[in-house]
Each structure stands twice: as C-alpha cells, then as structure tokens.
Structure 1
C-alpha cells in the first residue's frame, strides 16, 4: 500500500471532479480525488504543498479519537440508528460462500466466511442504506407538506463526506449516515435540501427561507459540520 507521512494513500479519479481534492478519511487514511485523465505524477508535489494542512488536520482528527491507519474496522455487535431510535443486535455465523444478512425483528444474522471482515461490513452498510431510505422518505414527505416545498425524488447514497445535495431538477440526495445522527440534525438536513429546491445557492435569500422554517438553523448547521462524531467507524 502506498503511504504518505505514514498514512495509507489512495489516489482515485472521478468523472465529475473539476479539481484535485485531498481528504483525510477516518478508517481509510489519506485520499486524493483527481479529475479524469489527470496526470497522477503531479500528486506527490500536491501532497507536499498540502503537507501543513494534512499534518494539522491529522492531529485534530486523532485528538478526537479517529483511526487513520486504514485497517478494516471490526464488525459491530450492535448497531444503533439514533435518528429513528432503533437498535439491532448483530450475530455472526462462520459459513462458506458469499456473505448474507437476515433480519428478524431487532436481531441481524450475518453469515459468511469469518475471514471476510470487509464482506460482513459491506452487507451491514447496504442494510443501513435501505433502512435510511425507509426512515428518511416519510420524514422528507412530512417536511415537504409542512413547508410547501416540493421535490422530484429522493436518493439515499453512501457518500463519504457530503451530507446531502439537491439537483436543479429537484432530486434530493442524502447520506445514509444521517441515520446515526440525532433526529433534529437529520430533519434539519432534509429541510436544508428542500430549501435548495427554491434557491440552488447559499445566498441571503436562501438562508432567509431556511430561517423562516427553522429559527434555530445556525446552531443546527454548526452541529451538522461536526456530525461525523456520531457515525461509527465501520460506516465511515
């Protein structure tokens, strides 16, 4: 594995990337996202230029207990979705073949090879994304009815950093990680994106619209920027 400053380093291209993006991701280490057909021979020089920021951000993340080693996290024994106040006990069975997951009320059974920790985590991540849609779609519909702001569709994704977005056509995309946040933060993110159906920017008019529905929006926006402290390591 390639490393930089002792951190696991991943360089990947993204078809929609317009510029080089350097990120420190808990559980993964250092990631560099580059535009398609970008000359990756430039990456070392970019990292050196970003070195003060990397060292400063690394210290901040590690002070908060983040693991940047790139190791595969241990599969959890319990999953708690704070936003919908649901908790699942997770059991594991060592069996040959592909990894599968079955749900029985508040218990999950993950079956598959014991050595396939990443496979076990992947089925739990897919389960989380399904539950996120089940919970968030009715919340979004309720917010839409309350505010009179309509949307075209909801998509639940497993973005690494972004909480949500809204397209010009009114399609709202949200991060499955919202399930791990307090419900007031999940609801506020939905309101934030609904307001983008009226203003596709963060102009004074946009924030005035947000404030008309949520007077405490500034506190909630600030807490959202720190929302990843609520997300377990296995889902980061």
Structure 2
C-alpha cells in the first residue's frame, strides 16, 4: 500500500496529488471511509509511481540559483521597474486600471491580483524570457476584468495574447527547471 497524507474537508470529491518531493496527498470529503480512500489510492498505483519517477527526474535536472540578500534586493528593484512598465503598456491595451504593483519572493506563484486591483509579482520572473513575463502580466491584468479562471477570463487573455496557451506551458517548464534558494 502506498503511504499518503490525508486531508479531509467539506469538499465533494476525492483528489490525488503527487507533490514535487514525491509525497502523495489525498484530499477527501469528511464522510468518505478510509477503506474507500485506500482502494482509490491503490487503483492509481501505476499513475502515482510514474508521476513520482517523472518528478524525481525533473528534480535532478533542476537548476538552483543561490542569491545573497543584496542580490535579491537588487533583483526585486529591477523586477519592479520592469513590471511597472509592462503593466502600464498592457493595461493601456486592455483598457484596465490597476492599483499598486509589488514585487516579492514568492516561490509558488508568478503573480497574483487582489480584489482591490493591486498586483503582486515574484522577482523570479527576471529569470524567464520576456514573452513569459508578458504572459504573467496579461494574466494578472485580465483578473481586473474577470476575478476567476472562467472561460470569460481566458477569452480576455486570448484577446491580447493569442498564443497564451503555449506561453503558459513554457512557464510551467521554467517553474520545474529553476529554483531560487534563499
């Protein structure tokens, strides 16, 4: 039997995740029995093992960049200047107005947008090609029109960036291949 972490909540369906470190996580409704969850995980054994092998290989190929706090501060400032310019340009094209732009050192998100219209980006964007930075900017600005990931949201993104699906795919690859260590 595969060992897994179980997280119960008021959700309605079972979900199975293999985390980047290879751990298996199951998210389950409160009333689903442990026996049912065990059978569910057993039935996904081949997929779990295949995914764990793929993630282990990706981890071996990952490039880790070590930065000093001074380098990090420099990159944050560079990122802020770059992203302010890109946001201004694309906001004009998209007809949206945003609030504050902030740059942080988030590791799991390239960007986020608040309900108030403030946009956060990670300075890690400086380590990806410009066309992928632009995709993240357009993605976050699109949230100013649609605060979700509905088909309407993706239509907004596509109206500005018809090749967004390819850029999104490339960005996921960069996320797998580059790690900035503190």
Alignment TM-score, normalising by the size of structure 2: 0.66
Q: Equivalents in 2 of 1:133, 1:201: separation in Å?
A: 25
After superposition, the Cα gap between the structure-2 partners of 1:135 and 1:235, relative to the gap in structure 1 and judged at 3 Å, is: farther
Secondary structure of the corresponding residue to residue 226 of structure 1? helix
Which has the bigger relative contact order, CA under 8 A and spacing at least 6? 2
Are 1:174 and 2:168 counterparts? no
Q: Equivalents in 2 of 1:125, 1:56: separation in Å?
A: 36
- Which deviations, in whole Å up to 9, do the C-alpha atoms of 1:44-71 show, x marking residues without a partner? xxxxx9xx79976553344235479xxx
- Which deviations, in whole Å up to 9, do the C-alpha atoms of 1:144-175 show, x marking residues without a partner? 11221211111111111111111111011111
Aligned residues: 146
**Which protein is richer in helix relative to its size?**
2
Other-structure match for 2:53: 59
- Report deviation, 1:22: 8.6
**Which protein is richer in strand relative to its size?**
1
Tell me if the contact between 1:181 and 1:230 (Cα under 8 Å) persists in the aligned partners: no
Which of 92, 98, 101 in structure 2 is aligned with 1:154? 101
**Any gaps of 5 or more consecutive residues in structure 1?**
1-20, 31-48, 76-119
After superposition, where does 1:10-49 map in structure 2 within 5 Å? Answer: 24=20
The 10-residue stretch of structure 1 (184-193 or 216-225) with the greater mean CA deviation from structure 2: 216-225
**Any gaps of 5 or more consecutive residues in structure 2?**
1-16, 24-40
Other-structure match for 2:30: none
CA RMSD of the aligned region, Å?
3.1
Other-structure match for 1:193: 140
Other-structure match for 1:43: none
Secondary structure of the corresponding residue to residue 146 of structure 1? helix
Alignment TM-score, normalising by the size of structure 1: 0.52
